[in-house]
Amino acid sequence: MVAILFEGKSDEKILNQICDTYSLPKEEIKYFNFEGKDNIFNIAHAYYNEIENDINNLQKIDKILIIVDADNDNDLNPNRGFEPSKNKLKEIIIDLNFNIPIDYYIMCDKNRNGNLESFLLSVLDNEQQECIQNFKNCYKYQLSDKWTYNSFYKQMNHPFDFNHQNFKILKEKLINLFIK
């Protein structure tokens, strides 16, 4: 089995859809919803004990993929932003000292900012993106990608093009999980 660690429910929903699209064996995945990025970055979190037991005692998990949001680096939290997130992930992977392959993926927009929602909005075609931008300009107040995604797409179960090139790296990382 493989383990996928992520921040919240929205990740889980999208991952399930991606796995369906690429015909990945969902029954071979053990999901861990850490409910927040800081929990993923806390190696003392109880889930890591469970994962360690799964790896060393039960020998149930062979590979791990950690998925986090990049967030914006103007945030006061030092682990926000693409590079700080990447550095922190590398650090915790060493600190966890699990004797199995661990990979990571950082959700962001084309400017390496944002989160899952920014990533999903980045795969929309130009016309749709322009339309959203026009709405944002017209509305004047700043609207987050999370709000935009939840308001325009999530409610309508908008079908994303999972074969879009922006999904390529995530797709490869997911497929790699199942290569023995």
Partner 1 sequence: MNNNFIKNININQYKCFKNFESNGFKRINLISGKNNIGKTAFMEACYLLSNSFNIFKSNPNYKINTGSPLDRNWFHFEIMKLLISIKQNRDNTNFLLEWLLEEFELVTFNSFSIEINKKFRLALDNNTLMPEHFGTQAWGSWDSSNLAKFRENTNYNKVYKKNHKPQLDNYTFSSICNIDNIKDMIDELKLNEKYNSLNKYLIEIFNIEQIDIIKNKIMLKQNNKFKGLSEFGDGIKHFINILVILFSHKDTTVYLDEIENGIHFANLDSLWRIVLNISKEQNVQVFATTHSKECIESYYRVSKQLNEKEITFIEFGKDKKNNIKANVMDFDQFNRNIVIGNGVRGW
Contact footprint for partner 1 (CB under 8 A): 1, 12, 16, 27, 29-31, 33, 50, 53-54, 57-60
Whole-number Å distance between alpha carbons of 10 and 145: 13
| Closest to partner 1 by CB, 58 or 175 | 58
The secondary structure of 150-164, three-state, reads: HHHHHCCCCCCCCCC
Q: What spatial distance separates the first Cα and last Cα of the chain, rounded to whole Å?
A: 11
- Which phi and psi (to 5°) does residue 112 adopt? 60, 35
Whole-number Å distance between alpha carbons of 141 and 169: 33
Tokens 């927009």 belong to 109
How far, in Å, are 75, 111, 115, 130, 138 from residue 11 at the CA level?
21, 20, 10, 25, 30
Cβ atoms of 6 and 33 within 8 Å: the answer is yes
Provide the residue count of the chain: 180
| Closest to partner 1 by CB, 53 or 163 | 53
